[in-house]
Amino acid sequence: MENEPLPRASKATHDRGSGRRRRILASGCINGPAIRYNQTNVEVVSPIWDRWVAEDLVVQFCAELAAGFATPRPPAEFGGDVRQVFDGTSPVREDTGRDVTNQFIDGAQRTVEYALEQGCVAAVLTDGSPSCGSTYVYDGSFSGATHTGMGVVAQLLTDNGIKVFPETQLEAADAYIRNKTS
Ligand code: SF4
């Protein structure tokens, strides 16, 4: 999937008076094509999601495809805190051992640029991903172990003022975006 704005992104809620768009960035794999590393997507069945789509609030993007990765691709993880990825003390590695830190940071930067350009104030991202994880990520051991923390995309969006929610917290995301647009 190339990260093209979806057709449904053509309209969006605007701030009263300011004319600023208020959109929601969503991981490209949520209810989308099977673009995850293991060639799957993430199904979210929710009337909230359906309403967002009907209201043209959702724009979708995949950081890893934007960074040039293919599908399928090896799983990738990092140890420690995501801040250590950005400061160069904890690399993102594929299970082959290949260091893909620069590509992951590049993908995160592209995601932030896109989200800001599209007027996104919140994001709903696939949890657990080294890019999109927002409440937990895998710990770098490729053992299935996880710990609390964000992926590189979620952290960089947060640093740029975009509130991030996992795909399991649509109600909280909806309340946030409604408050932003009321
Ligand atoms: S980088 Fe994010 S959007 Fe892309 S496949 Fe992984 S979880 Fe989905």
Q: What 3-state DSSP class applies to 124?
A: strand
pLDDT of residue 11: 40
Whether 87 maps to a domain, the answer reads yes
Give a yes or no: residue 1 inside a domain: no
User: Per-residue pLDDT for 3 more than 90?
Assistant: no
**Residue of the CA atom closest to atom 2 of ligand 1:** 132
Q: Does residue 115 fall inside a structural domain?
A: yes
Question: Is the whole-model pTM more than 0.85?
Answer: yes
Asked whether residue 44 is domain-assigned, the answer is: yes
Is residue 93 a part of any domain in this protein?
yes
Give the pairing of strands 146-148 and 136-138.
antiparallel
- Domain extent at residue 143: 23-180
Q: What is the distance between the alpha carbons of residues 21 and 35, in angstroms, rounded to a whole number?
A: 27
Q: How many domains does the chain have?
A: 1
CA of 127 to the centre of ligand 1 (A): 9
User: Ligand 1: residues within 6 Å at CB?
Assistant: 27-29, 35-36, 62-64, 126, 129, 131-132
Closest C-alpha to 79, from 141, 131, 154, 132: 141
Q: Is residue 54 part of a domain?
A: yes
Instruction: Name the residue at shortest CA distance from atom 6 of ligand 1.
Output: 36
pLDDT tens-place string over residues 18-56: 445 689 999 999 999 999 999 999 999 999 999 999 999
Determine the residue of 132, 152, 155, 168 to mutate for testing ligand 1's pocket, defined as the one with the most ligand atoms within 8 A of the Cβ atom.
Answer: 132
* 12 occurs within a structural domain: no
Q: Mind listing the pLDDT tens digit for each residue in 92-139?
A: 999 999 999 999 999 999 999 999 999 999 999 999 999 999 999 999
Q: What is the pLDDT of residue 78?
A: 98
Task: Tell me what the pLDDT averaged over the chain comes to.
Answer: 91
Compute the C-alpha angle 70/49/38, nearest 5°.
20
Instruction: Give the per-residue pLDDT at 180.
Output: 84
Task: Give residue-wise pLDDT tens across range 150-167.
Answer: 999 999 999 999 999 999
Residue 13 domain flag: no
Q: Return the ligand 1 atom nearest residue 133 CA.
A: 7
